[in-house]
Amino acid sequence: MAKIDRRQFVKSISVVAAATAISGVKPTVSMAQEKPYSSNASKTGNIYEVYALAYLQGARSKLARALYQQGWDQDVTLNYYVWAAINKKIGEVTLIDSGCAEEAGEAYRRPHAGATYMHPKVLVARLGINPEQVTRVIMTHMHGDHVNGMLDFPTLYPNAQFYVQKKELNFWAFDPMVQKPAFKMFLNKPGVDAVAALAKTPRLIILDGDQFVGPEMEVLLCPGHTPGLQVVVLPTAKGQTIVASDLGHTFRTFTEDLPSGIITDIRPWMDSLDKVRSRAPLENIFPGHDILMATNFPKVAEGITRLA
C-alpha cells in the first residue's frame, strides 16, 4: 500500500474529530484512524470469510412487516443474526452487530412458539473464535435486536473497538423525536445507553459517512430503515460482498426494490438500495433477517452458516 501522505492523515483525523463533536459525547480519535485503510485486496490478499450466526431462530411475523405492504395475511418466519467476518491472513475477527443479551433476547423470543434464542457469544465461541481475536464490532444500526448485545460486548471482547455512524447515535441517544411512538417502539434504551457510555472512551469510533474501517473493509452509510444505518463491504472468495443488515429484512428487498415495513424515511432508502446494488452482485448482498441465510448456505456448526 502506498505510504500515507501526511495531509491525508491529518484530514482523516479531522473528519473523525468533527464526526464525534456531538452533544454529551467526548470526541475520540483512536489508533484505528491513524492507519487509513483502502481497497487494495488484489495486492494485499486480505480476503474475508463471512458467517451468519442465527442467535434467534423461528420468529413469526406477517410478511408486510418484512416487505412493504405485501402479504398482510401471509405469515413469514424470520431469524435474527449477528455476522462474523474472519480475516485468516492476519487472524482478525470483525463482528457485525451484537444481537441481544439474555434478557432482551428472551423477550424477543417469548411471543413466538417454538422459537429459540441463544446469546451471540455462544455462537461466536462455537465458530472457534477466541474473544481476544475480535478487534472490531460494527454496529449496523441501533434497533434493539442489533444493539442490545452492547450490554455485554465491550466486556466479552476486550480488544474490540466499536463503530457506529454519527447520525445513528445522534438520533437514538439525543433526538427528542425518538420519544414519538413510531420510534419509541423500536428504542432499546439499555443498548443505546451502553453505546453512549462507550462514547466517553476511545473504544467507540463515531463515523460520518462512507469509510474504510479495516483492511479492504468499508462501511457505507445507507439511511432509510434508520437515520444512520451502515452496511459493510468486504472482499471474499465470491467477490465483493455486503452485509446489509436491515437495509433489507429479506433478500426480496433487493430483488423487488421494496423496503420492509419498519421505515424512517423511504426516499433515502431507495437511494441506499441503488448504492448497495452498485457495489456488489445481488447474490452477494445479505439482508438482516432472512431464514434463507440459515437454510440455503453451508452449515458449519449448529446455528452457523458460511455466506461467503
Q: At its nearest, how many Å lie between Zn ion and the CB of residue 229?
A: 8
Q: Which residues contact 284 (CB under 8 A, 6 or more apart)?
A: 236, 238, 239, 240, 241, 242, 308
Q: At its nearest, how many Å lie between Zn ion and the CB of residue 264?
A: 10
Of 86 and 194, nearer to Zn ion (C-beta) is 194
By CB under 5 A, the residues from 240 to 259 that bind Zn ion are 246
Contact (CB, 8 A) for 9 and 36? yes
Helices (H) and strands (E) in the chain, counts: 13, 14
Of 37 and 81, nearer to Zn ion (C-beta) is 81
Of 93 and 101, nearer to Zn ion (C-beta) is 101
Q: How far apart are CA 38 and CA 212, in angstroms?
A: 6
Instruction: Assess 136 for contact with Zn ion (CB under 5 A).
Output: no
**β strands within the chain, DSSP E:** 49-62, 75-87, 92-96, 116-117, 134-138, 161-165, 204-207, 211-214, 217-221, 230-236, 239-245, 285-287, 299-301, 304-306
- Helix, coil or strand: residue 133: helix
Among 109, 136, 143, 167, interactor with Zn ion by CB under 5 A: 143
The size of the interface with Zn ion (CB under 5 A), counted in residues, is 2
Instruction: Assess 166 for contact with Zn ion (CB under 5 A).
Output: no
What's the N-to-C CA distance of the chain in angstroms?
A: 25
Q: At its nearest, how many Å lie between Zn ion and the CB of residue 288?
A: 6
Strand partners of residue 95: 84, 137
Q: At its nearest, how many Å lie between Zn ion and the CB of residue 157?
A: 22
Q: At its nearest, how many Å lie between Zn ion and the CB of residue 179?
A: 18
Of 216 and 246, nearer to Zn ion (C-beta) is 246
Stretch that binds Zn ion, among 27-35, 137-145, 164-172, 212-220 (CB under 5 A): 137-145
Q: At its nearest, how many Å lie between Zn ion and the CB of residue 253?
A: 12
Of 78 and 204, nearer to Zn ion (C-beta) is 78
Q: How far apart are CA 242 and CA 83, in angstroms?
A: 11
Residues found near Zn ion in the complex (CB under 5 A): 143, 246
